[in-house]
A = this chain, B = another copy of it.
């Protein structure tokens, strides 16, 4: 069994009000030196067998169709 991690983040040009709210809260709570925060999603996908090229391609198709919205989000894959 192998674990493939899919990171999904809003595209840089898309506003992230949730991240902005978190950054504002950090400042109010006294954390200084924070320029900005963006929040995204992390999926840990456990696949059967080894994470070979075919498996990664399947997880990539899954990320495109189900885990991320490619209109507003970018995603990246890596084997953990």
Which A residues lie at the B interface, using CB under 8 A? 1, 7-9, 19, 22, 25-26, 29, 31-49, 55, 58, 61-62, 65-67
Nearest residue, chain B, Cβ from A26: B62
* CB of A79, distance to nearest CB on chain B (Å): 15
* CB of A26, distance to nearest CB on chain B (Å): 6
Taking a contact as CB atoms under 8 Å apart, the answer to whether A41 and B39 are in contact is yes
Complex contacts, A58 vs chain B, CB 8 Å: 31-33
Taking a contact as CB atoms under 8 Å apart, the answer to whether B67 and A47 are in contact is no
Complex contacts, A37 vs chain B, CB 8 Å: 43-46
B8, B31, B35, B55: the one within 8 Å of A33 (CB) = B55
